[in-house]
Amino acid sequence: MIEADYVIVGGGSAGCVLAQRLSENSRHTVVLLEAGGADRGPWLQIPIGYGKSFYDPAVNWMYRTEPDPGLAGRQGYWPRGKVLGGSSAINAMVYIRGHPSDFDGWAALGNPGWSWADVAPVFRRLECAPHRDVASRGHSGPLCIADVSRDHHPLCTAFYGAGGELGLPFNADFNGPTMEGIGPYEITTRHGRRMSAARAYLRSAIRRRNLRVELRAHAVRVRLDGRRAVGAEYVQDGETLAVRAHREVILAAGAINTPQLLQLSGIGPPEPIRRHGIALAHELPAVGANLQDHVCIDHVYRARVPSLNEVLRSWHGRVRIGIDYLLRGRGPLSLSINQGGGFVRSREGLAAPDMQLYFCPLSYTRLPPGTRPLMQPDPFPGLLTSVQPCRPQSRGRLTIRSADPRDPPVIEPGTFSAPGDLDDMLAGAQFLRRLAATPTLVAVIERELLPGPQVQSRDELIGDIRARASTVFHPVATCRMGPDPAKSVVDARLRVHGLAGLRVIDASVFPSLTSGNTNAPVLMVAEKGADLVLADAGES
Q: Which residues are catalytic?
A: 474
- Short-list 174, 201, 235, 188, CA closest to 84: 201
H helices of 231-306, where? 254-264, 270-275
List, in order, residues 6 or more apart from 328 with CB less than 8 Å away. Answer: 192
Pairwise CA distance, residues 96 & 98, whole Å: 6
The radius of gyration of the chain's CA atoms, rounded to the nearest angstrom, is 23
- Short-list 216, 388, 499, CA closest to 490: 499
| Bridge-based pairing state of the strands 211-214 and 30-33 | parallel
- Short-list 100, 95, 93, CA closest to 114: 100
DSSP class per residue in 109-161: TT-TT-SHHHHHHHHHHHEE-S-TT-TTS-BSSSEE-B--GGGS-THHHHHHH
- Short-list 432, 437, 471, 434, CA closest to 451: 432
Pairwise CA distance, residues 461 & 441, whole Å: 21
| Residue 239 DSSP SS3 | strand
| Residue 24 DSSP SS3 | coil
Pairwise CA distance, residues 222 & 233, whole Å: 6
* Residue type for position 368: P
From residue 155, alpha-carbon distances to 299, 308, 362, 384, 436 in Å are 15, 9, 9, 11, 13
Whether the Cβ atoms of residue 48 and residue 336 lie closer than 8 Å to each other = yes
- Short-list 433, 12, 72, CA closest to 202: 12
Compute how many other C-beta atoms are within 10 angstroms of the C-beta atom of residue 74: 17
Over 459-525, what HEC string results? HHHHHHHHHHCEECCCCECCCCECCCCCCCCECCCCEECCCECEEECCHHHCCCCCCCCCHHHHHHH
